[in-house]
A and B are shown apart, each in its own frame.
Chain A
């Protein structure tokens, strides 16, 4: 058992970190914002956590928190301009934000060390802490989803006109979603920095964004189990197909296509709506 755990510890850690980014993406989608800014916010959080510790001399866990706060602030700052756009346009504008963060990161060599990335970050984040945080995060997201905020998000997402007519301010609640998503992205960016010794500017680029988005859409965009399942599938399956080596990317692509074609709402949401339908049908039969 111990041996098994030790062998797969890196995968587990990777999965737990990915889960954080998946939730950061999930919250904004939940509120009906098609933003993919998580990658940029994670970069801001990760870099500020690492640099404030290495160059600013602040204690690591303070800088991780500062990174989370910065991520949240940038998230809120993004919410206002993005509220003017809808759907695909939001996605493209937030993609532009990610690219701006990435290229400024490469340009500001004096501060961020440019293309070399940040080295020599102490490793302070271990599996137990990540497990604890993930459990907390899932609980928090579950409460958000179940109570008032989640219902408001659902209304805004399903039909904005109805939400507005009920006195719900779209921009207000989307700003809240951005703040939550930004804090999570910043926090997990910082955790990544203090977990992997090293930060690389390209790490938070287009691929990162695609991964975070696919975790959520593959798993399900409505339920809290969605991102958990999506992350688990996309982290574990490529690991199982490790023997096929160079065909891993191919396998990843095939999984994405097959799942989304057969379960367009995502694995968890399709299952949940299927089981609800079945329950209703059996109730009707009983009557």
Chain B
């Protein structure tokens, strides 16, 4: 029984990681807390759903969600974050302007969906259940886990083995020095925000398939858990975020299964608080969370 729960937690955790990765990418590279990430995630789920309802195959739904999420995220960067860069007040400004962007996205989605809770048509994804070693795994769960793993691997390859990935890491290290060395920061911004949005879009479709509930507010709880995951793994660390997501998924399912579900939130956020106090840089993070800060 406990192994079954661990397995479920691992699968859910993988999808949580996908969502949190996009969030961590933007924070790690541009030091921006993108609170509209939940809205992008929800948009991805909506796009995937509408694509399937239009009769497109599911894989095309994923593509549409990834592209749509990516473009929306780029649009958010262009409208909400880029104008703030000149003022030097990004830390506070970005939070408020991304909250504004999120409100806009959510209210448009509410209008489109007419506040309904929607779901993918039955058998959009074949319902096949495998049993081995006394465990029960559905094909969907396997697919989710594999998809999450594959996307993470692609992201790591992209960041550490390609020229544009090197540019992104250069901007993350020191944006000014990178610009002096001839890196076009706008290009890097475009790429990271597109990747972040695409990951959120795919995560949206996966969660929509798994939990069968797609509605305009579905992003909020995920955004809050993305905070937890990123802190667990260390803000901005890619590998840390992946592991953080898996740990989060397991803690979540285990505490729902064995303790009262009413206490789950308290446990998770209590853990987050303690983690921040004891190891503010997370399990894998390097940047200094407690460093003295100078504001211009």
Contact = CB atoms under 8 A, between A and B. Distances in A.
B195 interface: no
A158 B273 contact: no
A144 B97 CA distance: 29
Contact of A253 (B104, B228, B277, B280): B104
Contact of B227 (A81, A95, A257, A260): A95
A158 B295 contact: yes
B54 interface: no
Contact of A257 (B27, B100, B220, B291): B100
A232 to B, nearest CB: 17
B103 A107 contact: no
B106 A217 contact: no
Interface string A257-271: 100111011000000
B18 to A, nearest CB: 20
B99 interface: yes
Query: Could you say which interface size class chain B belongs to?
Result: 35 or more
Given A85-B289, A99-B269, A103-B269, A256 B107 contact: no
A249 B106 CA distance: 9
Interface stretch (A47-55, A135-143, A175-183, A206-214): A206-214
A93 interface: yes
B100 A255 contact: yes
In terms of DSSP, what is the predominant structure of the interface of chain B? Answer: helix
Interface residues of A, number: 49
Given A81-B273, A107-B262, A107-B266, A257 B97 contact: yes
B100 A260 contact: yes
A61 interface: no
Given A158-B295, A265-B89, 15 more contacts: A84-B290, A85-B280, A87-B91, A92-B231, A93-B273, A93-B276, A103-B269, A213-B95, A247-B111, A250-B103, A250-B104, A252-B103, A253-B107, A257-B79, A261-B93
Interface of B: 27, 31, 33, 79-80, 83-84, 87, 89, 91-93, 95-97, 99-104, 106-108, 110-111, 220, 224, 227-228, 231, 235, 260, 262-266, 269-270, 272-273, 276-277, 280, 289-295
6 contacts: A86-B289, A213-B95, A217-B92, A217-B95, A260-B100, A264-B84
